[in-house]
């Protein structure tokens, strides 16, 4: 008689949670790009009216910020990956030295989930038949997927692209708008972008959108206002 494996639903849930975590990271990266480059171009705009200077400074900020985000994410996820691989290797060594370990721990896990002892025995036996069950064991005991450890390169690439996607908005609005309109156009573009990232992040987190959206607006407005003031002061001192 076939046994229904209760571990498949948690596996799908883990996969969904993993995708949501990547999406949240992407939204945060885009938000960081928006605020960082908005602050940078407003600071330069306060000091000079030269469009080329704005473009060069903005592009340099996009490149530096994106590489910094990607590098930081790569280092962070690499450390996580090393920890996961070490934990999985320890799981394999323990299973190799004690073949019954995996089945016993899976049985204990499913008993704790509320399965009847007979069904828990059958599930553990089915999963470990032929030396298998390590992936289920890793998921249930240490929350890891033995087949798909995290990828530092994927994390770095996602962070870089998300930062650039957000950074392009204030840069394009500031550099390519008519001179007399560049500040208000950039403010509106940044506000709209931050409202969108605040809305998306609230939906992903299951919270009301009002507070995240307002928080984004306040942070972005402060960044633009303070850096513009600093740029104006610096431009006046250097003139």
The confidence score (pLDDT) of residue 147 equals 54
Residue 4 in this model has a pLDDT that exceeds 50? no
The confidence score (pLDDT) of residue 19 equals 57
Q: Where are the domains of the chain?
A: 20-238
Q: What is the pLDDT of residues 105-141, one digit of tens each?
A: 777 777 777 777 777 777 767 766 655 556 666 666 6
Name the more confident of 28 and 194. Answer: 194
Residue 211 in this model has a pLDDT that exceeds 70? yes
| Mean pLDDT score, 19-25 | 65
Residue 63 in this model has a pLDDT that exceeds 90? yes
Q: Are 163 and 28 in contact (CB under 8 A)?
A: no
Q: If you average pLDDT over every residue of the chain, what do you get?
A: 79
CA-based nearest residue to 183, from 61, 65, 44? 44
* The model's pTM: 0.73
The confidence score (pLDDT) of residue 148 equals 57
CA-based nearest residue to 159, from 67, 21, 62? 67
């Amino acid at each position: 008689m076939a046994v229904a494996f209760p571990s498949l639903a948690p596996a799908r849930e883990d996969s969904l949670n993993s995708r949501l975590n990547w999406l949240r990271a992407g939204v945060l990266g885009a938000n960081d790009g928006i605020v960082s480059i908005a602050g940078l171009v407003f600071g330069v705009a306060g000091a000079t009216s030269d469009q080329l200077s704005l473009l060069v400074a903005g592009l340099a900020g996009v490149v530096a910020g994106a590489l910094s985000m990607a590098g930081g994410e790569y280092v962070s996820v690499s450390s996580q990956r090393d920890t996961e691989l070490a934990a999985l290797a320890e799981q394999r060594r323990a299973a190799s030295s004690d073949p019954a370990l995996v089945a016993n721990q899976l049985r204990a896990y499913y008993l704790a989930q509320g399965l009847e002892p007979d069904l828990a025995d059958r599930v553990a036996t089915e999963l470990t038949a032929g030396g298998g069950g390590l992936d289920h064991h890793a998921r249930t005991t240490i929350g890891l997927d033995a087949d798909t450890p995290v990828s530092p390169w994927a994390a770095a690439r996602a962070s870089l692209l998300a930062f650039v996607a957000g950074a392009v908005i204030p840069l394009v609005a500031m550099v390519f708008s008519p001179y007399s309109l560049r500040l208000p156009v950039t403010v509106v573009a940044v506000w709209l972008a931050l409202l969108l990232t605040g809305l998306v992040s609230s939906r992903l987190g299951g919270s009301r959108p009002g507070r995240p959206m307002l928080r984004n607006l306040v942070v972005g407005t402060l960044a633009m206002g303070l850096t513009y003031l600093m740029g104006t002061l610096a431009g006046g001192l250097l003139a």
